[in-house]
Amino acid sequence: MNYLPILSAALSRGGHYADIFFENTLANSLVLQDGIVSQASQTVSYGAGIRTLAGDRTGYAYTMDLSERELLKAAHSAACIADGGATTQPLALSATAPLTENRYPILRPWTEIGVEATKDMLMALDAFARGLDPRVVKVRAAINNRTQEVRFANSLGETFLDVRPRATLIVIVVMQDGTQTEMGYASEAASMGGEFLTTERIQRVAREAVHRATIMFEAVQPEGGEMPVVMAAGASGILLHEAIGHAFEADFNRKQTSIFADKLGQMICSPDITIVDDGTQKGDSGALNFDDEGIPGQRTVLVDRGRLNSYMHDRISAAHYGVSPTGNGRRESFRHAPVPRMRSTYMLAGEATEDDVIRSVKRGIYACSFTNGQVQIGAGDFTFYMKQGYLIEDGHLTRPIRDVNIIGNGPKALADISMVASNLIVDPSGGMCGKEGQSVSVSQGLPTVLVNRLTVGGV
């Protein structure tokens, strides 16, 4: 198809930039419960979104009919919404240079993995989990996969084709000991094809779910109050993502709604801390060959040795700040316009050992995993529900704890980090991040860190 007439229509009311995002996504899901595969689904998402930019104005329209007539109608709609000044003309299209490295090569297409093979994996997982501990009474598991094919062209003459796989394994176990019932949850996600589905992985995730449920039988609720909190490596990165990461997204700063809006170039935390947002990790849930605006995937240093170095930019915010886009323009599907979003956000390793960090605390808690949380982007205040952790008493981990809230302020918590261990883990469970009604796949990570003061409260 010749995209130039469509791009010309998108620019017909004075836009300075336009792009077309074509998507064809095939997604599958199988769910096991009560020893049987009880749910199976397959969905197809197919269409195109057309965007026009005119200054700070955005016009966006999409269609599931990819005929030239309907694409032109969508392009004219986007142009009318943006309605800028003098018209421009798109440049001749030229194919983007081939990738030097595909960050998510598909070694085995998901279309080659039949329903029966996936079902057999789920049944094997169920048997393995039940065999780990006789107290396991229920197993629920799901295998979800998606392959998204994207074709992109813009008025600058840039084009790309990207095939993006994603896979998720989720395991929930329920264990019963006398009258006490506990639940454990574990998951892994990756940008991979059918090679994701291995016996080693399903056993690892099942073992982790059982381990987490087992700990809960002995867990107690600690006394509340303000105290030091040691964030465990890996899964605690959700706190970095939610309480701090969103405030680095450039649209919040451009609109002056982020607490970091006037902090660019300033010291905001210890010089021991460097935070990056990375789209280059092979197979990671946040990996990108290109973002959804045609910008090559890259690694962005947000905080450089304590200094706020960069926001996460899409094309709009980059133009506002007079910098280059950072490859953070992302969208859930062709139905949505891209906005600045995280990819894989993590803190670099420090020099301390985890034992050093724990030994430095006389009385506090060691936080292992979090679930639901609430964050105010403007003020930075947050509340997170900590599912599991341990008491720290006289520099040692003692009793397991459960069901507490961690309350604080993101920028203050960042400034209160006084020790950073050398054991960075990017959490393999991945996740989906929501913003403006759309979700994208992300990951986050953290080495073990000590936050000098956070409020710990009971549920």
Task: Please tell me the predicted confidence (pLDDT) of residue 457.
Answer: 86
Shared-domain flag, residues 202 and 276: no
**304 in helix, strand or coil?**
strand
Q: Are residues 231 and 210 in the same domain?
A: no
Which amino acid belongs to residue 371?
A: T
* Whether residue 56 sits in one domain with residue 129: yes
Helical ranges in 144-297 per DSSP H: 199-216, 237-239, 250-254
- Packing angle of the helix pair 199-216, 115-132 (nearest 10 deg): 40
- Residue identified by tokens 């970095």 is 240
Q: Which of 216, 237, 257 represents a domain boundary (last residue)? A: 216
CATH number of the CATH domain containing 155? 3.30.2290.10
Same domain, 382 and 263: yes
- Burial class from Cβ neighbours inside 10 Å (0-12, 13-18, 19+) for residue 149 reads middle
pTM: predicted TM-score of the whole model, two decimal places: 0.95
Averaged in consecutive runs of 10 residues, what is the pLDDT profile of the chain (459 residues)? 92 93 97 94 97 93 97 96 78 73 95 92 97 98 97 94 97 97 96 97 98 94 93 92 92 94 96 97 97 96 98 96 97 97 97 97 94 80 91 97 92 96 95 92 97 87
Query: How many angstroms separate the CA atoms of 352 and 247, rounded?
Result: 27
pLDDT of residue 377: 80
> How many domains are contained in the chain?
2
The owner of tokens 């966006």 is 60
Q: Are 265 and 307 a contacting pair, CB within 8 Å?
A: yes
Residues 48, 53, 56, 60: what is their CA dihedral angle, to the nearest 10 degrees? -30
Q: Using alpha carbons, select from 151, 139, 182, 125 the residue that is nearest to residue 20.
A: 151
Same domain, 404 and 282: yes
Same domain, 327 and 381: yes
234 and 198, same structural domain? no
In this structure, the answer to whether residues 306 and 367 fall within a common structural domain is: yes
Which of 155, 189, 216 marks a domain boundary? 216
Domain assignment of residue 281, given as a range: 225-458
Give the CA distances from residue 16 to residues 56, 58, 335, 357, in Å, rounded to whole numbers and listed in that order.
Answer: 10, 11, 22, 52
Question: Are the beta carbons of 183 and 145 closer than 8 angstroms?
Answer: no
| Helix residue spans in 52-198 (DSSP H) | 68-82, 115-132
